[in-house]
Amino acid sequence: MADLDPSLPWLDALKWDADGMIPAIAQDASGRIVMFAYMNRDSLQETLACGNAVYWSRSRKRLWRKGEESGHFQKVRSIRTDCDGDVLLLEIEQVGGIACHTGRESCFFHELNGDRWVPVDPVIKDPKDIYQ
């Protein structure tokens, strides 16, 4: 793969997939990965404009303003890309401490134990109380 070309305009320097998407990892200040999603050009530009994470929802087929339903917004502190320019890393402040729609701190709460995935992180808030 070719390295990121810093001479290109910032959006053009990124390597978008065939659908115009780029993977985005959300990491809190402690270093914990709390979420993975996709962004397109519009969602990345809106993220920069408003300061909160905006993703592309592949299931909804529209921009997804993280926290629009739950109130659990992600304030973006910095955006980085890897050496190839094909992945984004968002350093975020997770408002309310809940990133996952299951009411957990992180979407990465299943751990492989033998031949089974086991939920290892507690539910902070019942999703029924979040999505009313």
Number of CB atoms found within 10 A of residue 71's CB: 10
Question: What distance in Å separates the CA atoms of residue 51 and residue 36, rounded to the nearest whole number?
Answer: 18
Say what the pLDDT of residue 1 is. 57
pTM of the complete model: 0.91
Say what the pLDDT of residue 65 is. 96
CA-wise closest residue to 44 among 27, 34, 56: 56
Q: Is residue 6 part of a domain?
A: no
Q: Is residue 56 part of a domain?
A: yes
The whole-angstrom distance between residue 2's C-alpha and the CA centroid of its chain comes to 24
Say what the pLDDT of residue 131 is. 82
The range of the structural domain enclosing residue 67 comes to 13-130
Q: Is residue 2 part of a domain?
A: no
Q: Is residue 114 part of a domain?
A: yes
Q: Is residue 77 part of a domain?
A: yes
Total domains in the fold of the chain? 1
Taking the CA atoms of the chain, what radius of gyration do you get in angstroms? 16
Quote the Cα angle for 81-63-125, to 5°.
90
The label of the residue with tokens 């905006």 reads 54
Q: Is residue 5 part of a domain?
A: no
Q: Is residue 4 part of a domain?
A: no
- CATH of residue 90: 3.10.20.810
Print pLDDT tens along the chain (132 aa): 578 898 999 999 999 999 999 999 999 999 999 999 999 999 999 999 999 999 999 999 999 999 998 999 999 999 999 999 999 999 999 999 999 999 999 999 999 999 999 999 999 999 999 887
Q: Is residue 3 part of a domain?
A: no
β-strand pairing of 110-113 with 33-39: unpaired
